[in-house]
Structure 1
Amino acid sequence: MPDLLIELFSEEIPARMQAKAADDLKRMVTDGLIEAGLTYASAGAFHTPRRLALSVEGLTAASRDTVEERKGPRTDAPEKALEGFLRSTGLTRDQLEIRDEKKGQAYFARITHEGRSAQAIVAEVLDAAIRNFPWPKSMRWGAGDLRWVRPLHSILCILTDEQGAQVVPMQIEGIEAGAATRGHRFMGPDAFTVSSFEDYETKLKRARVMLRAEERAETIWSEASSQAFAQGLALVEDRGLLDEVSGLVEWPVVLMGEIGEEFLDLPPEVLQTSMKEHQKFFSVRDPRSGKITRFVTVANIETPDHGATILAGNGKVLAARLSDAKFFWENDLRIVEAGGLEAMVEGLSNVTFHNKLGSQSDRIARIAALAREIAPQVSAEADAAEKAARVAKADLRSEMVGEFPELQGLMGRYYAQAQGLSPEIAAAAQEHYQPLGPSDAVPSAPVSVAVALADKLDTLAGFWAIDEKPTGSKDPFALRRAALGVIRLVLSNGLRLKLRDLLAEADARASADDLMSFFHDRLKVHLRAEGIPHDVIDACIAMPGNDDLTLLVARAEALAAFLKTEDGTNLTQGFRRANNILTQAEEKDGVEYSYGADAKFAESAEEKALFAALDGAQPKIDAAMASEDFGAAMAAMASLRAPIDAFFEAVQVNADNQVLRRNRLNLLSRIRATCGAVADLTKIEG
């Protein structure tokens, strides 16, 4: 069984496209091989800046012969019908079979399709893959019609078995497949032939090309960390940058350089962001001072001077970039020192937030008022919360955030500190944006929590009021993220808030009930990820006070735990039986059986025992519910399981005696009311 090796060698592929392109090549080729009747043992895809490679092991040498059977016309059909059938099958009349059918006899054809060689199939599949490759962007070059992400130079395509390697004969737009490739652009540019994947990878490394992206990334990280450690420093981890840089080089050469003394007083995040965005440099921190003091760059070539010239050139470019950052920083500080963050905020009156919701300045005023309203409910000082809300977005007018938008909030914290504002107000400038996603940290400082909630609730209520709601997969204003942020802020901090009131306060035009439904949908997603079933959540949402998310989740967690027990399962079944009988009787009689059950009408011991059990459990359930101890309430409910089971085993509810029937139906109503005090068990499935 031969092994297949494919390499598509081109000009540099953008780093962000490489991994997906390698996966696409693997998917398209292996799917095509299987559809054509070949099988294989394993396949692996690889990528470097200048090549996509695919190794397929254990490929079958040819597809199997197949037999197709077709039914033709009846034997008494017109001659022309038979002639047409013969033309379509390529057979003669004597090659057809005649078989008995329900309505007579008919002709049948058995057509044998001979299997094809792996070479022919690979050539066909690879041709289709190259011509239909799903690049996000592609180009044409020269006079041909072929499109590729960058000009395609060569195609390596060989099948290797015990007899050796054979080139798969194919040609695309003048590019003929062969067994040759090239190594590093500068350190191994000469062509060489290969005979297998192992030979290919070995010779590439000899020609200064690391084929595996994970090996390049590991080399970069290991060498950079070692160089930093040798200087008593620490490399700042950045997985995204590591993946990107490993896609920019075929032979990583790690070099560490110094940052000019005049830039060391810039905030570390400014240095890190500037070097990452503009130069693709890693940051190196001094753990003693916390400052970024050096940078790591990854070259794609070994030089006689061990990178000294490269570092000198990079240092000059970096100094120019950091000079801009230093100018922005110092200019912003001058504005803050002259007029405080309020001076920056003034400019936001000319910045539109949304044409139906006013300017950023209008929005800040709304957030400040709402933050003041929320503050006492989250143990924050109202004046501090309002002040924090008024300056939290001031850095949107700073030159630094204009250059690096990803630093918004963080720069606000630095500027607030420079102005001498309190630590909690400075922290709120950064933290009020959080959480930005499911893995982002949740603020816990009261002032930060107040402003973060006000910010997100204003966004939700405002866009709801102007009917800009998420639809399907579209959520242009990130309202789902805002709602999840509110949920996480409330739950992580154990807040007891009436969200309906706060939403009405945020924007009276918005439908608070409609928005609460949106919150409940987001909460279902959040809780399902924690293992709480949707029907349990629905059973708790149906209860009063469902805009108190902390209370709602406590109820849902207790109910979910209760339903996992045998008592919980059986009690739910008993409740469902009682509710079904009661509902049917109420529909039939046109009355509501909701009060008046009297133990003096009880006849059997089981019926009397149920009255006693309800009388005993009710005070315990009431006390537990009053203290919001849902676990204790459900434990008290669990004591009803056996009496309810025994009652249904021994007692006929719909007795002929109407007094007994009414009394027993009212007793079922007590069961429904008692069990329904914790959650709406009618929502529980199964």
Structure 2
Amino acid sequence: MPQNKKELLLELLSEEIPARMQARATDDLKRLVCDGLKEAGLEFESAEAFVTPRRLALVVDGIPEKQPDIDEERRGPRADAPVHAVKGFKGSLPKGAKVEKRQTEKGEFFFAVVKQKGFPSDILIGQIVIDVVRKFPWPKSMNWGEGHGPWVRPIHNILCLFGPRASIAITLEPGRDFRTTETMGHPFLSPKWFAVKNFADYKAKLLAAQVMLDPAERASVIEAEAQKLAKKAKLKLKHDPGLLAEVAGLVEWPVVKMGSIDKAFMDLPPEVLTTVMRHHQKYFALLDKKGKLAPKFIVVANTETKDRGKVMVAGNERVLRARLADAKFFWDQDRKRTLESRVQELAGRVFHAQLGTVMDKVIRVEELASELAESCGANSGDARWAARLCKADLSTGMVAEFPILQGVMGRYHALNDGENADVATAIAEHYGPLGPNDNCPSAPVSIAVALADRIDTLVGFFGIKEFPTG
């Protein structure tokens, strides 16, 4: 890197940043700082942002030591222009600009020769950082002090280095200064403060202090260690990139362990097991050679222990056991009643204030599904009956506890009640697709019910002038 260009290193150390906000936060930090540099006339070569649960970091390479000097000529109004026009032109010029009259082909005009020294970059960068902190667009934030705007969680420190030794003072409120050349490591394993010189030094010292700065590196370590444990147990890790990214955002120093599931809970529907593990505990599921759920799980901790995680694993097994005991209770209780017996309870659930109850919607969907059945290649009676039962599982204890299982539990209950497979499948599939990466219903009865449900929703909302925005 040329001698007249330097590296900017910025770290915002705070309490835990929610995992769901981290990816956007890195993009926003990079965008806001880079935009500020460009507006200040400071070109740069590259920029890269990083995030852990406790810190946002940015490194920008190739920033000049100061703004470029301005040496330009500006033409103003005609020499015989009104006085206020001439005053306005002179007032727009920076201090020290020389104004003179010159004859041109079009007449006599005022000209200004502007020569202005560029400001030092460190002064400009300090203000840019303060502006970024005060205006940062967190989806949710809190007030953690006075005079500096909200942040997602209280800020502990702001490290800001420009070049190998030049720190930039950051003051957000009177009497509150930050250690702008220092940071700290893992809060439990290495909580001491230490000084850094540049990004390479910063990253290396963080790693020595049990902090992996790059979320992609943490995800890679988690996956590799989980695969190793699974292979040792002759099992296979269930592919779940969304959970992997989330867990990588929960730890700075991933420690991967395997726990056991009480075999008494293995007769629960697999979707119930994975939902409890994934959504509530952030555990990874494991599969046996036949592709079925194994009575094991992967848990990722954020610290190392002297007993190599034995107490931690036992604690997670105990928590999971309690969660699954609740799920088993709901499963056993819900099966004591048929889906059909739950349909009338939908009359007590409001779908929309202007569109009636869920029961009202079901009645409409029944008629639509019956009409659409023939064009979908489905049996009209099956389509009508599937539409009748498709929302009934909303009244079960399991779906009340785990709403993400709506439709899925309806299918299990329909099969338990002796309904035919087409009807049961339609209950599960009529919500799909749930996004661009989800599968569309393919069975005829499922297609008829899914179309009827969506047509009713769209027509209803357009009818009350509540137009979709997506």
Q: Give the equivalent residue in structure 2 for 1:256.
A: 258
Q: Aligned-pair distance for 1:69?
A: 3.7
For 1:195-594, what aligned pairs fall within 5 Å after superposition? 195-288=197-290, 290-335=292-337, 340-464=338-462, 466-468=463-465, 470=467, 474=469
Distance, in Å, in 1 between the alignment partners of 2:75 and 2:38 is: 27
Distance, in Å, in 1 between the alignment partners of 2:350 and 2:180 is: 60
2:59 maps to 1:52: no
Q: Aligned-pair distance for 1:104?
A: 5.7
2:194 maps to 1:159: no
Q: Aligned-pair distance for 1:205?
A: 0.4
Secondary structure of the structure 2 residue equivalent to 1:296? strand
Cα 1:131/1:393, change in 2 over 3 Å: closer
Distance, in Å, in 1 between the alignment partners of 2:371 and 2:89 is: 84
Code of the residue aligned with 1:319 in structure 2: it is R
For 1:135-146, what aligned pairs fall within 5 Å after superposition? 135-142=138-145, 145-146=148-149
Code of the residue aligned with 1:423 in structure 2: it is A
Name structure 1 gaps, 5 residues minimum: 476-686
Cα 1:99/1:399, change in 2 over 3 Å: same
Distance, in Å, in 2 between the alignment partners of 1:232 and 1:176 is: 51
Q: Aligned-pair distance for 1:463?
A: 4.1
Cα 1:333/1:143, change in 2 over 3 Å: same
Q: Is the 8 A contact 2:133 2:148 kept in 1?
A: no
Q: CA RMSD in A?
A: 2.7
Cα 1:355/1:121, change in 2 over 3 Å: closer
Q: Aligned-pair distance for 1:308?
A: 0.9
Distance, in Å, in 1 between the alignment partners of 2:420 and 2:250 is: 45
Q: Aligned-pair distance for 1:312?
A: 1.5
Distance, in Å, in 1 between the alignment partners of 2:86 and 2:318 is: 84
- With normalisation by structure 1, the TM-score equals 0.63
> Which among 101, 110, 113 is matched to residue 110 of structure 1?
113
Cα 1:177/1:316, change in 2 over 3 Å: same
2:8 maps to 1:4: yes
Q: Give the equivalent residue in structure 2 for 1:22.
A: 26
Q: Aligned-pair distance for 1:56?
A: 1.0
1:626-671 Cα deviation digits (max 9, x unpaired): xxxxxxxxxxxxxxxxxxxxxxxxxxxxxxxxxxxxxxxxxxxxxx
Cα 1:190/1:427, change in 2 over 3 Å: same
For 1:125-140, what aligned pairs fall within 5 Å after superposition? 125-140=128-143
Cα 1:461/1:63, change in 2 over 3 Å: closer
Distance, in Å, in 2 between the alignment partners of 1:74 and 1:380 is: 82
Cα 1:78/1:194, change in 2 over 3 Å: same
Q: Is the 8 A contact 1:170 1:177 kept in 2?
A: no
Distance, in Å, in 2 between the alignment partners of 1:354 and 1:100 is: 75
1:188-226 Cα deviation digits (max 9, x unpaired): 111111111111111110000000011111111121122
Aligned pair count reads 464
Code of the residue aligned with 2:59 in structure 1: it is S
Distance, in Å, in 1 between the alignment partners of 2:439 and 2:171 is: 55
Cα 1:117/1:346, change in 2 over 3 Å: same
Distance, in Å, in 2 between the alignment partners of 1:365 and 1:90 is: 74
Q: Is the 8 A contact 2:144 2:155 kept in 1?
A: no
Code of the residue aligned with 2:260 in structure 1: it is E
Secondary structure of the structure 1 residue equivalent to 2:335? helix
Cα 1:379/1:142, change in 2 over 3 Å: closer
Q: Aligned-pair distance for 1:469?
A: 5.3
Code of the residue aligned with 1:401 in structure 2: it is V
Distance, in Å, in 2 between the alignment partners of 1:92 and 1:438 is: 60
Secondary structure of the structure 2 residue equivalent to 1:201? helix
Distance, in Å, in 1 between the alignment partners of 2:92 and 2:362 is: 76
Q: Is the 8 A contact 2:378 2:445 kept in 1?
A: yes
> Which among 40, 43, 49 is matched to residue 39 of structure 1?
43
Secondary structure of the structure 2 residue equivalent to 1:237? coil
Secondary structure of the structure 1 residue equivalent to 2:306? coil
Secondary structure of the structure 2 residue equivalent to 1:57? strand
Q: Aligned-pair distance for 1:273?
A: 0.8
Q: Is the 8 A contact 1:119 1:169 kept in 2?
A: no
Cα 1:245/1:350, change in 2 over 3 Å: same
Distance, in Å, in 2 between the alignment partners of 1:124 and 1:463 is: 48
Cα 1:92/1:33, change in 2 over 3 Å: closer
Q: Aligned-pair distance for 1:361?
A: 2.6
Distance, in Å, in 2 between the alignment partners of 1:103 and 1:400 is: 84
Identity of aligned residues (%): 49
Q: Give the equivalent residue in structure 2 for 1:645.
A: none
Code of the residue aligned with 2:414 in structure 1: it is A
Distance, in Å, in 1 between the alignment partners of 2:138 and 2:144 is: 16
- With normalisation by structure 2, the TM-score equals 0.90
Q: Is the 8 A contact 1:68 1:113 kept in 2?
A: no
Q: Aligned-pair distance for 1:277?
A: 2.0
Q: Is the 8 A contact 1:168 1:177 kept in 2?
A: no
Cα 1:288/1:193, change in 2 over 3 Å: same
Cα 1:425/1:12, change in 2 over 3 Å: same
Distance, in Å, in 2 between the alignment partners of 1:171 and 1:380 is: 69
Cα 1:105/1:398, change in 2 over 3 Å: same
Q: Is the 8 A contact 2:461 2:467 kept in 1?
A: no
Secondary structure of the structure 2 residue equivalent to 1:374? helix
1:235-270 Cα deviation digits (max 9, x unpaired): 222222211111111001111111112211111111
Cα 1:111/1:350, change in 2 over 3 Å: same
Code of the residue aligned with 1:258 in structure 2: it is S
Distance, in Å, in 2 between the alignment partners of 1:19 and 1:289 is: 32
Q: Aligned-pair distance for 1:382?
A: 2.9
Code of the residue aligned with 1:117 in structure 2: it is P
Q: Aligned-pair distance for 1:124?
A: 2.2
Distance, in Å, in 2 between the alignment partners of 1:126 and 1:371 is: 58
Q: Aligned-pair distance for 1:101?
A: 5.1
More strand by share: 2
2:187 maps to 1:181: no
From the CA coordinates, give the structure whose radius of gyration is larger: 1
Q: Is the 8 A contact 1:281 1:296 kept in 2?
A: yes
Distance, in Å, in 2 between the alignment partners of 1:38 and 1:355 is: 55
Deviates more, 1:448-457 or 1:400-409: 448-457
Cα 1:412/1:65, change in 2 over 3 Å: same
Secondary structure of the structure 1 residue equivalent to 2:63? coil
Cα 1:171/1:404, change in 2 over 3 Å: same
More helix by share: 1
Cα 1:176/1:441, change in 2 over 3 Å: closer
Secondary structure of the structure 1 residue equivalent to 2:41? coil
Q: Aligned-pair distance for 1:66?
A: 0.5
